[in-house]
Amino acid sequence: DAGVTQSPTHLIKTRGQQVTLRCSPKSGHDTVSWYQQALGQGPQFIFQYYEEEERQRGNFPDRFSGHQFPNYSSELNVNALLLGDSALYLCASSPGPTANTGELFFGEGSRLTVL
């Protein structure tokens, strides 16, 4: 049973560029959340997708956008990259947005470096 998979694992971009990160949720999960983790910090919630719609959003500018596909996979797009966008981007899946257990299954992350 494959867990949450993310790609790419590492990437380097320059300021002003755009980046797309991809995530496939754990089998049986239909809800995907994205988190940003800067070095030495805890993960910060970006947004959550369920039924191909953004359901919740954290305190991130609209340079951060996403998409969910019919197969539940998801993309995170960041436009006009800033140096401060350098971070580990984590995708987490769950079996529905209102499941009782509440635990999240995280992927290994995509490490983005902006130069």
50 backbone dihedrals φ, ψ, rounded to 5°:
-150, 135
| Binding test (CB under 8 A) with another protein, winner from 31, 65, 85, 87 | 31
Q: How far is the CB of 41 from another protein (least distance, A)?
A: 6
Q: Which of 24, 64, 76, 106 binds another protein (CB under 8 A)?
A: 106
Instruction: Extract the runs of DSSP E, i.e. beta strands, from the chain.
Output: 5-7, 10-13, 19-24, 31-37, 44-50, 53-57, 64-68, 74-78, 87-94, 105-106, 110-114
Instruction: Write out the binding residues for another protein, residues 39-58 only, by CB under 8 A.
Output: 40-45, 48, 55-56, 58
> What is the distance between the terminal CA atoms of the chain, rounded to a whole angstrom?
37
Provide the token pair at 45: 């919630």
Q: Which C-beta is closer to another protein: that of 8 or that of 16?
A: 8
Which of 2, 53, 71, 98 touches another protein by CB under 8 A?
Answer: 98
Report the interface residues with another protein, using CB under 8 A: 4, 31, 33, 35, 40-45, 48, 55-56, 58, 88, 90, 92, 94, 97-99, 101-109, 111
